[in-house]
Amino acid sequence: MADLSSCTVICWLKYTSTDNTHRIPVYVVDSNGKFVFIEVGSSQNFFAGATETQSINQKSNSNPGTNDGKWHQLAVVRNGTGTALKLYFDGALVASTQDNVYGGWTAGASDISVGCGFNNGSAYTSSAIDGYIRNVTIYNQALSLEQISLNFNRRGRTGNPRRFWTGFKYKQIINYAYTACGYKSSSPWTSVHKTVSSTDQTTNLGNLMQYAGSYISGACSEKVLWLWGASNSFPGTTTQAVATNMFTDSAYSLTSAMNLVQSRNDSATVFKEHDFSWTSGGGSSSVDKFNFYTETMRSSTLSGGIPGWDGQQGDSGFSDQHYGYWGYSGSTQRITFATDTFATWTHFWHYGQQKGMSSKWRKGYTGNEGSYAGGYNFRRWYFPTDTNLGNVSKPQPNCGEENFTMGQDHQYMLGNFDGVQNNENWRYVYATDTGTANVAGLSPTAHAGQSSGQCGWRE
């Protein structure tokens, strides 16, 4: 473990009770025994900093809405010895330890506890919170106010400082999936479906997308699903973006800054978590880059992307933490997210309409055979070593043009083409690379079939 004498502890908290005895989610002590914490209860709603020598000297009793059933960010910064510990709430500084003191516990030097207090080297479990904690992250440096505010604005993720205890898989816990657009018999759709990961059930949310789209690609921020190339026609070549708010289940307001710079038809999109996406192919090897935080497309395209095909021969891609991969029958590229570079790579794609499937399990998938249909097996790519893991069977045979979600431990296929556009489905488990086809209640229902749409997901 790295030296944590200077460190930052960040977590996200949601209370489910006003019980005064269950109230302390973050507790950090410095080498002199000073500590900061937050208490929330039916009669105690305050932030404080303290030592173990005297009674509480309350810092704030403004009750900023902590116990409101919503998620809130809490952060504690310890900057070596001899300096004040600092407590932040939703990106703002609310307390430090310079003058605040507390009695009753014996604080151990340099203790860190999340979820309860600390007493004589052991967890003080009687103070454990009633509620939920997620996105617990410990940095081996003191973050600035600006970095903590950025973490808050990004709902629990910052950029450069080194992380401890929170891996790539758990930066976001995926609970819902969304499937948008697609087509059947040359008719494109504007419909959006929502799938609940805990129940494997899908609901038709209606025609939420502003333009109909088929042979499209897209990606999602933490709250919005974006699709590019929605032309209101089949198949259509366009720069047009469409978007749905996945938290309100409603259409999202569009601006021209969200549109592609290059018109495309059946492009590939890869994404770096919820920071950026890159789109190429669909008739042009230029690359459009989208910023999820500013919700704007880069004003000019990058060069060197996948040549690709239009006319529905298609491009496809899958994404990992630091790299994305896209390809078609003629070529495969690896995208280095940090440098916006695109390199010809070990050729892995059989055909662009055998769609790419991403995961949090460091594996990417694409079809081993077939074209628009005819896919019976997956090829699996292992990101840490850039090697082919070999083939596994698709749960649904003879398919292509699939709509793939990404999930926490399992994912869904929601509509494909097997000679006709359909609403077939599967539930696929990453750990075992096995799945179940035609799960009751899982299929889209708005139309008699849909393929070549796009999926998104959220916590």
Q: Where are the domains of the chain?
A: 6-166, 176-458
How far is it, in rounded angstroms, from Cα 288 to Cα 318? 16
Residue 312: predicted pLDDT: 54
pLDDT for position 139: 85
What pLDDT, on a 0 to 100 scale, did the predictor assign at position 51? 36
Per-residue pLDDT at 416 exceeds 70: yes
HEC secondary structure over the chain = CCCCCEEEEEEEEEECCCCCCCCCCEEEECCCCCEEEEEECCCCEEEEEECCECCCCCCECCCCCCCCCCCEEEEEEEECCCCCCEEEECCEEEEECCCCCCECCCCCCCCEEECCEEECCEEEHHHCCCEEEEEEEEECCCCCHHHHHHHHHCCCCCCCCCEECCCHHHCCCCCEEEEECCEECCEEECCEEEEECCCCEEEEEECCCCCCECCCEEEECCCEEEEECCCCCCCCCECCEEEEECCCCEECCCCHHHCCCCCECCEEEEEECCCEEEEEECCCCCEEEEECCCCEECCCCECCCCCCCCCCCCCEEEECCCEEEEEECCEEEEEECCCCEEEECCCCCCCCCCCCECCCCCEEEEECCCCCCCECEEEEEECCCCEEEEEEECCCCCEECCCECCCCCEEEEECCECCCECCCEEEEECCCCEEEECCCCCCCCCCCCCECCEEEEEC
Number of neighbouring beta carbons within 10 Å of residue 123? 16
Q: 155 vs 415, which has greater pLDDT?
A: 415
Banded model confidence at residue 34, pLDDT cuts 50, 70, 90? low
Which pLDDT score, from 0 to 100, does residue 43 have? Answer: 39
Nearest C-alpha neighbor of 154 from the set 76, 91, 225: 91
170 CB neighbour count, 10 Å cutoff: 14
pLDDT of residue 339: 93
Q: Which residues fall within 8 angstroms of residue 414, CB to CB, at 6 or more apart?
A: 177, 179, 193, 195, 202, 403, 405, 423, 425, 442, 443, 444, 455
**Lowest-pLDDT range of 14-28, 171-185, 398-412:** 14-28
pLDDT interval class at 113 (50, 70, 90)? low
Q: For residue 1, is pLDDT > 90?
A: no
Confidence tier at 160 by pLDDT (50, 70, 90): very low
Distance CA 16, CA 25 (A): 13
Output the CATH code of domain 176-458: 2.120.10.80
In the numeric block, the tokens 């366009």 are attached to 238
The angle subtended at Cα 230 by Cα 229 and Cα 232, nearest 5°, is 140
Higher pLDDT, 219 or 112: 219
Distance, CA of 383 to chain centre? 18
Least confident residue range of 83-92, 158-167, 293-302: 158-167
207 closest CA partner among 222, 220, 188: 188
pLDDT over 80 at 197, yes or no? yes
Question: For residue 231, is pLDDT > 80?
Answer: yes
Residue positions counted in the chain: 459
- Here the tokens at position 242 are 């469409």
pLDDT at 388: 94
Average pLDDT on 360-388 reads 95
* Average pLDDT of span 241-270: 96
Contact between 89 and 59 under an 8 Å Cβ cutoff? The reply is: no
Question: For residue 168, how many other CB atoms are within 10 A of its CB?
Answer: 14
Whether the predicted pLDDT of 23 surpasses 60:
no
CA distances, 281 to each of 39, 96, 183, 352, 419 (Å): 53, 53, 20, 10, 25
> Residue 150 — pLDDT band, cuts 50, 70, 90?
confident
Confidence class for position 178, pLDDT limits 50, 70, 90: very high
Instruction: Give me the chain's average pLDDT, please.
Output: 82
Tokens linked to 457: 């997901």
The torsion defined by the Cα of 398, 401, 402 and 406, in degrees rounded to 10, comes to: 140
Measure the CA–CA gap between 454 and 356, rounded to whole angstroms: 11
Q: Is the pLDDT of residue 262 over 80?
A: yes
Q: How far is residue 73's CA from residue 20's CA, in Å, rounded to a whole number?
A: 20
Kindly state the average pLDDT of the residues 137-150. Answer: 84
pLDDT in tens, 325-350: 999 988 899 999 989 999 999 999 99
Look at 241 and 49; give whichever has higher pLDDT. Answer: 241
Q: What is the CATH number of domain 6-166?
A: 2.60.120.200
- For the stretch 305-325, pLDDT in tens is 997 664 456 799 999 989 999
Query: 9 pLDDT exceeds 60?
Result: yes
